[in-house]
Amino acid sequence: MRLSLNPLAFGTAFALALCTSAALIGSGPAAACEGRTTLAQSYVGANKDVKAEYVYCANDLRSDVSTSTGAGSDIFARQNDVCGAACTTYCWTPSGGGPDPNDCTVIQDALLYDSENTGPLFSLDPATNTSMIVMTYNTCQTYILDQTNSSLTYCRSDWATLVNYIAFNCQATQNAHGGVCVADDQRWYIQVQHS
């Protein structure tokens, strides 16, 4: 299952191309965060009920699922703005213990609200210890991780789309309990899991 996010030339709108085949099955979520330190925290969304944190983990959380396209050769200069970049979705099996997708929709709504009211873009930067942002509402937790040594810029609206997409396509009815979308160039991933 490939989820392609294709930004349009204007605003934060984008076209979303989804295929209808089943999502890939992942080998399991990235390792749990060890030595977890919350570096900053706030509550976001229209109702200020979604917790947003910059988190530092002492261990390596890089995803062990890799997409076949890989990083490839660097013939083209790499852009730090990865809005609209394609990622591939993997679901974690089996069913049971996953987040309630409706809680994930609350996070989606908060991200869309922030996109409109705070700004469409946000940054991840290992140099400022902001490689990992975690958002939590009730049973649903999603995070984005910059797996590189350099900064990346991403769109709140794309994250919003992905958290809902993963939540509803990797739930019990798919024999899953959450999942991940790994950038096709491996530079970042977004995971959805039980909080």
Ligand X SMILES: *[C@@H]1O[C@H](CO)[C@@H](O)[C@H](O)[C@H]1NC(C)=O
Interacting residue ranges for ligand X, rule: CB under 6 A:
37, 39, 56, 129, 149
> Which CB, 20 or 74, lies closer to ligand X?
74
Give the Cα separation of 130 and 146 in Å (integer).
Answer: 9
- Residue 2 near residue 16 (C-beta atoms within 8 A): no
Question: Least CB distance from residue 118 to ligand X, whole Å?
Answer: 23
The Cα–Cα gap between 32 and 36 comes to 9
Q: How far is the CB of 127 from ligand X (least distance, A)?
A: 6
Min dist. Cβ of residue 128 to ligand X (A): 7
Q: Residue 54 Cβ, how far from ligand X at the closest point, in Å?
A: 9
- Judged by CB, which is closer to ligand X: 12, or 131? 131
Cβ proximity to ligand X, 132 vs 176, nearer residue? 132
- Where would I find the beta strands (DSSP E) of the chain? 2-7, 14-18, 24-26, 37-44, 50-56, 87-92, 121-124, 132-137, 140-146, 152-155, 179-183, 188-194
Nearer to ligand X, 88 or 148 (CB): 148
